[in-house]
Chain A
């Protein structure tokens, strides 16, 4: 089977899952903070999607191209589970660890999500500002916006010690957490570490963790960009359908040239985003250079974040008043677009990082 065939099959099965599981309806429950909002990690695990970026022996062995195709399809269905942030991200981080890698891969692959605390303050894009210290067997400090946190599960923590930036597997039982809710209802937490004890065998790596985490973040940015592409496409499709059926002044509103031109401009941005994802995949496949990969990640995340939010705003306007009701589904697409657009850096932040990387290489 060719690589393209595999990608096609993955995308097909993801689309089938989205339809069968009534993904958009599940997204609504999360947005409305309904008591019935659930995750179905088992289904994702059974499909092999949690394990996909892990080792082949553990059901993985796939790469970014497959993950991107999967997430574009799942994004179209507003998948509620934070698969990218709590399965792929920890999987990519732990992959290189000889001691813990296989165990973590096995747990994630079986459908147990794993939170990653890497961000010190809002607005930062890398582990550089890491605000957790590891000293004398304990963690102290803080981390923000940790998706997938649970007191009942172990998590990965990026912390600085005398040896450098390390990554630690930590029981979350003694971590203080304050809940934040994203636009689409995804829960995250700001964490405080006060003498949280960890044993030396909890160490995934003692130093060089910054390079590993930062590259993993860049890979997940590509995956989120693919998901944003799926969200944008689905939002746009629904908007086109509305334009073709909604009648005012005796004709479909989609027959008015001003709106046709607006739709054409959105179509251009969506297709550019598709090209941006393909380009980023090619760039990641071609090099291990951290700067090039960061630049590629910023270009695609900036594009995809911009497009998804743009399509969302235009979708509201093109639907008119009905879009402003909680009842109409377009609001779900808007919330999901805004959430993913802002995770791991939004369009403006990534344009700035792309510019800085470029200025840096120009100065060199």
Chain B
């Protein structure tokens, strides 16, 4: 059995590229919107057959057993090739949490189906009244002997329509300090009492759902870790996610789309456009180099410090500014629905604009990221 971690980086990259070229259908590549489970399935099946769904998991749980350095390489190659993102909450969020904090029984039950891409998970965190202030969440789980009874509502649950299971942060102690009364619970999404309602976004897509819980009974064995330890466990896994959220790939992809629009409209002959484009091009290049600094830290096995918030903050802003220049450059076609023709290519500046709006809001809004930088990195005081 080929030891992937023993391959040198160049060989590993080449192996990934060869596989992507051979197996990933071109009509699924470089699609700007988040794709549905069924759409990505032809590709997901091939990855699963290869055992390549979970790059960072230990082999004993069905993962590729790669070092963090190689996981980043895997991600880079997939991003470069515009490979579609399979539903990956189970891979990225739940799996590592179960590996670290779950019981043997939970690991044995839930991890292999994720690695085989048979079971898809969604994340039930945000609520209508708990966004930036997630710790104030109110969806509650009451101990009823052999089960927890869940009542409440989650919102912005990504691709819940395509999921089989949901992992939840729920309130299990209403008296304790808010972060200390939260538990981590797993639920089969087909449990009676769970209703999913897709949210139609500004862009007309249905990428998110509201999820309602009406006296939903969930077995006690679905509690991960100790009661009221949910917040602590969820926070412990946050570091790597912030690197992921700060990836320059959104900006890079948007820039290549802007390029296409500019070529199709002759904008490169306009000095004012060229100036704005140059600035965004430099911003993307410097963002990419800064991302590399943090990625190198991770590859060396160092923990990420709060400074990584810079990436999410600047990366998402840059991405948005690029889409805004694309809308401006496309004139009427920047405000017209559907794919537009630019030269010999097509692009959809209006959809790009809409799709980029949540980036500065999710994953810790940019205002929250600034708070983190100000307090934890710059040492500015509280009121």
Contacts and interface: CB of A to CB of B under 8 A. Distances in A.
Interface stretch (A129-137, A179-187, A202-210, A270-278): A270-278
A239 B290 CA distance: 24
Given A240-B379, A299-B285, A362 B290 contact: no
B374 A272 contact: no
B367 interface: yes
A267 B378 contact: yes
B289 interface: yes
Contacts of B307: 271
Contacts of A302: 282
Contact of B279 (A264, A271, A351): A351
Given A263-B374, A268-B310, A351 B275 contact: yes
A263 B378 contact: yes
A359 B268 contact: yes
A276 B289 contact: yes
A272 B380 contact: no
Contacts of A265: 313, 370
A244 B380 CA distance: 6
Given A268-B314, A272-B286, A260 B371 contact: yes
A257 interface: yes
A272 B290 CA distance: 6
A303 B290 CA distance: 13
Contacts of A279: 285-286, 289
A42 interface: no
Contacts of B292: 275
A267 B372 CA distance: 12
A355 interface: yes
A172 to B, nearest CB: 38
B293 A275 contact: yes
Given A268-B313, A272-B290, A351 B370 contact: no
A221 B371 CA distance: 34
A261 interface: yes
Nearest to B262: A362
Contact of B378 (A264, A356, A358): A264
A255 B282 contact: no
Contacts of A251: 381, 383
Contacts of A267: 310, 373, 377-378
B287 interface: yes
A275 B286 contact: yes
A75 B358 CA distance: 39
A364 to B, nearest CB: 13
Contacts of A354: 278, 281-282
A265 B317 CA distance: 11
Contacts of B369: 264
Contacts of B274: 352, 355-356, 358-359
Nearest to B382: A255
Contacts of B282: 276, 299, 302-303, 351, 354
A358 B255 CA distance: 14
Contacts of A351: 275, 278-279, 282
Contacts of B197: none
Nearest to A296: B285
Interface in A335-353: 351-352
Contacts of A356: 274
B375 interface: yes
Interface in B100-150: none
A105 interface: no
B277 interface: yes
A351 B285 CA distance: 13
B289 A244 contact: no
Contacts of A303: 282, 286
Given A358-B278, A362-B268, A252 B381 contact: yes
A263 B369 CA distance: 12
B281 A272 contact: no
Contacts of A255: 380-383
A109 interface: no
Nearest to B372: A264
A275 B375 CA distance: 23
Interface in B263-296: 268, 271, 274-275, 277-279, 281-283, 285-287, 289-290, 292-293
A146 interface: no
A54 interface: no
B314 A272 contact: yes
A222 to B, nearest CB: 14
B43 to A, nearest CB: 33
Nearest to A299: B282
A156 B275 CA distance: 34
Contacts of B286: 272-273, 275-276, 279, 299, 303
Nearest to A259: B380
Contacts of B313: 264-265, 268
A303 B274 CA distance: 16
Contacts of B271: 352, 355
B378 to A, nearest CB: 6
A254 interface: yes
Contact of A264 (B275, B290, B370, B381): B370
A144 to B, nearest CB: 25
A243 interface: yes
Contacts of B371: 257, 260-261, 264
A295 to B, nearest CB: 10
Contacts of B379: 240, 244
A259 B383 CA distance: 12
Interface string B341-383: 0000000000000000000000000010111011101111111
B383 to A, nearest CB: 5
A282 to B, nearest CB: 8
Interface of B: 268, 271, 274-275, 277-279, 281-283, 285-287, 289-290, 292-293, 307, 310, 313-314, 367, 369-371, 373-375, 377-383
25 contacts: A240-B378, A240-B379, A251-B383, A252-B380, A254-B380, A255-B383, A259-B380, A260-B370, A260-B371, A260-B378, A261-B367, A264-B370, A267-B310, A272-B287, A272-B314, A275-B293, A303-B286, A351-B275, A351-B278, A352-B278, A354-B278, A354-B282, A355-B277, A359-B268, A359-B274
3 A-B pairs with least C-beta separation: A260-B374, A355-B278, A275-B290
